[in-house]
Structure 1
Amino acid sequence: MFTNRSRNTSDTDTLRGARVVITGGAHGIGRAIATQFVHAGAYVAVGDIDGHAAQQAAAELGNDTLGTALDVTDEASFASFLDTAENAIGPMTVMINNAGVDWMGPFHSEPSHVSRRQLDVNLMGPIIGSRLALQRMLPRRGGHLVNVASAAGRVPQPGSAVYTATKFGVVGLTEALRLEYRESGVRFSVVHPGQVRTQMIDGTGRSSRLLRVISPDDCARAVIDAVRRNRFEVWAPADQRIGIQLGNLLPRALRERAMLALKVDAIARDADISARSAYHERAFGSDR
């Protein structure tokens, strides 16, 4: 059960005592985010489809961290997770929709159930999580909702067309919510990681010069920065933002030529599908 902790109001301690809820928190980016919030003095609850891994992560993080099973595609599971989290660590002040999956391969070969899984986890998950979080935050006139999108939410990624569509959706969702609830006291952030060194990029031997590979800790620092400084749109790595935003000002033909020159299409095109089979099975089942 949450016990109150005295707060230090200095800039470096703005996260001390915060109550942070993270989806997809047992591995990769989510685990790194949880770790950095704990180190900043926050109370953390992590949910993951792998409940055992979530519990193990929580035990290793310490500081009364909660870890439990969560299916972000199931509204009842999500609501139960938030109830459990708030009973354990107190009323949440930060909600991070992080869970996501990515299938790589030609669009015409992608199984329909894989497409639906990406839509359910990557887009419906943040939709459900954002709605449930706002139902709790709005009466309190405060809170911070963070949706982890992707650079693929601003730059199309050939070979991951459905994943790209879901991340464009997350960006649009967050931008619309920021405007709709601009006077509510709730803050919003959308985070755009490039390629992050997690299981999601297994088998991708080459990276784009536009979307270089970073570590989960790099991405977690961007999330921490978004919350601490109340920044709406955050890129990881930060230098990625300028190139992408300038590129989007170009006429379409030049923009597409530039993206191809920077090998955005190489990420999925050159992926070793056999090397990705273990990840695909974990994310989508054996009959991918």
Structure 2
Amino acid sequence: MRAYWRAVGLAKRERNEDARRLYLRAAEAGNINAQYNLALLHSGAGELDEAIAWFRRAADAGDAGAIHGLAKCLMDTGDPGRVEEALAHYREAADLGRVDSRYNLALHFKVAGDEDEAERHFEKAAAAGHRDAAVHLAGIRIKRGNHREAEALLQREAAEDHPGALDILGHLAEGRGDLRRAATLYERSYRAGFVGAAVNRGLLYEAEGDTPMAATWYGYAAKAGNVAGMYALGMNLAKRKQRGEAMHWLAKAANLGHPEAAHAWQITASRDRQSRAAHTPQDSAVQERRDSGERRPPRT
């Protein structure tokens, strides 16, 4: 037991290698908490086989956290042959009260296309207080045409500033033509942490014809690494003939996989060359030096 508590203290001071040695001593002596914490260290280091082995030992003793960790590590291996075992452990942990296991089950079935099973697990997780599960459940309800129940779920989460709930409510308001409310909801969603909502706010400004304000909001998303924001900002700047900066953002979006950005970059570059051809050679040379860093084509 002394080895375990010494290991806890070392781990808190981020002396993970020293902690690992002491956890190992305690784990081999049968300390379930040490087995669990040792598994966490291995998992954090990407050592999935070792993590699975120690999670399994703690899970065999009925530790719900270890059962959840075992399921997650089995999934993280990417081995299709381990999926069913992982799901069985998620179910076991969920039945023991692990709401995150219930949520992960729901996500798995959603990705697998089994919406009925996903809905069942999202509903249970949401009832247990899992906020992301409630938002996913609302999305399924919307898809099935049950807008009243969906909005009740979303309003509950939006009251606590859940960014996803605020963004979806923004889309619903926009669909009803209530653009002022949509704008407010998108802004709240962005402030709550959903960067993509800045793009949605920018699109509303664009629709109003306020392209500079649209660019400001696209810029919030683009500078935070959002690919849709980069593309929208690039297109906005190109429309306003700020082609050097437009090409910069379009190239970034293309290099991050945006499907339309490379073609947009080519069109913008072509128009830029045509514009340059109308300048005097001296003007063109000066501008070329000024913008050379922004005119590299996207990687292919």
| TM-score between both structures, scaled by the size of structure 2 | 0.28
Return the structure number with greater helix share.
2
TM-score, normalized by length of structure 1? 0.29
